[in-house]
Amino acid sequence: MSELSGLYALWYREFKVFLRERSRIVSSLVQPLMWLVIFGGGLSSSILLTGVPSGINYQSFIFPGIMCMTVLFGSLFFGLYIIMDKRVDFLKEVLVAPLGRTTIFFGKVLGGSTDGFIQVIILLILGTFLFNIHLTLYSLVITLIVVALLLISITSLGLTIGALMSSPEGFGLITSFVIFPLFFLSGALFPIKNLPSWLYVFVSINPVSYAVDALRTVILGVGSFGLAKDLAVLVVFALVMLFIGTEAFKRMKF
């Protein structure tokens, strides 16, 4: 019982703080909008997408990828807050509470994922009005499931890095080595059919590619791996990251 209310407490804190820091919400949306409006808009007129129906322009094509990017950047940097908590004694206040480390970790994942979920939903709403994105109930449900799985995985990854590092600089260094390969090798910005085979290998071992592919399948009807395989990979990815994160939290020094 106390583990459950503890879980709720940790989620409550992250959520309240998120709602109170409006700048966090705004800044999290600026970047994807720039990609969509400037990068997407700029390339739309001059790019020819192979293997994609002609009704889909480049801007709509990268929309699922930009959704994943929002998750990627927002959730990975969520791990930075744990380093902030370490710098003051807030983390100790949590660690000295009679809660298991697993509970603390899951509470953080839940809190971070909620933040990301809200950002993605705002982006989806903007997408339907501005970027010609149409969702049915079915595609909305699958979209939310895919986003949730990716959020859990990436938040766990961010928290794992945060648990192992003790300075924001160190965190920044590690994440920049992680975040750009995950993003650029996900097929967020290009179709993955007809890629050079060396590049295709990297794309196909990147779990984020499967989230992009799943979203593209349900939102635009264009996919490469197949939805069942996408979802299976994402579930496994989420489980593995949750496991690694839990272990990292158990070993976390303060």
Partner 1 sequence: MVSLTNVIETHELTKRFGELVAVNRINLKIEEGEIFGLLGPNGAGKTTTLSMLATLLPPTEGSAEVNRFDVVRQSSQVRHSIGFVFQDPSSDDLLTGKENLYLHALMYGVEMKNIERKIAEVLKLVDLTDRQNERMKNYSGGMRRRLELARGLLHEPKILFLDEPTLGLDPQTRVHLWGYIKKLSKEKKVTVIITTHYMEEADELCDRVAIIDHGKIVAMDTPMNLKRNLGGDVVRIKVKKPNMAAVKKLKYVKHAKREGDSVILTVNDAGSHLQEILGKLGKIESVESRSPTLNDVFMHYTGSGIRDADAEGGYFERIIHSQANNR
**Touching partner 1, residues 64-103 (CB under 8 A):** 86-90, 92-99
Report the greatest alpha carbon distance in the chain.
59
Of the pair 20, 46, the CB lying nearest partner 1 is at 20
Q: Nearest distance from residue 109's CB to partner 1, in Å?
A: 16
Query: Residue for token digits 């109170």?
Result: 20
Q: What is the 3-state secondary structure (H, E, C) of 193-220?
A: CCCCHHHHHHHHHCHHHHHHHHHHHHHH
**Touching partner 1, residues 112-171 (CB under 8 A):** 166-167
Instruction: Name the segment binding partner 1 (CB under 8 A); options: 4-12, 49-57, 114-122, 133-141.
Output: 4-12
Distance CA(47)–CA(49), nearest Å, equals: 6
Of the pair 77, 171, the CB lying nearest partner 1 is at 171
Instruction: Name the segment binding partner 1 (CB under 8 A); options: 7-15, 25-33, 72-80, 177-185.
Output: 7-15
Asked if residue 203 lies in contact with residue 229, where contact means CB atoms within 8 angstroms, the answer is: no
Q: Nearest distance from residue 71's CB to partner 1, in Å?
A: 23
- List residues binding partner 1 (CB under 8 A): 1-2, 5-6, 8-10, 12-13, 16-17, 20-21, 86-90, 92-99, 166-167, 253-254
